Amino acid sequence: MKKLLIALLACSSLTAFADDVAAGRAKSDAACALCHGAIGIATLPNAPSLAGQSAIYVSEQLKNYRSGKRQNAVMGVIAMQLTDADISNLAAWFSVIKVTAEAP
């Protein structure tokens, strides 16, 4: 019984996470992709790539831009419009994008 409950809880949190990723992707398509790329590989030369970035890092940076702790004219304005839910969805989306690195 206890095991079943744990399995059910695990499933529901996985579904919730998938929802977060989907919502984050939709938000990114609408508000971030222009500069950070459709799958998080930056298309603007001075914008960083976010693909594969850890969710904690992305959400911390967005909260810092929003509060003014990290200052940037562009990201400050963008982050001001994000709710906590937007931030955690966006962080979930960028963190699940798989990236590979290759030495030159």
CB of 100 to ligand HEC, least distance (A): 18
**Nearer Cβ to ligand HEC (71/100):** 71
40: left (phi over 0), alpha (psi -120 to 50) or beta: left
Rule CB under 6 A: which of 17-76 touch ligand HEC?
31-32, 34-36, 44, 46-48, 50, 58, 61-62, 72, 74-75
**Rounded Cα–Cα distance for residues 51 and 57 (Å):** 12
Contacts of 82 (CB under 8 A, 6+ apart): 62, 66, 90
Interface with ligand HEC (CB under 6 A): 31-32, 34-36, 44, 46-48, 50, 58, 61-62, 72, 74-75, 78, 90
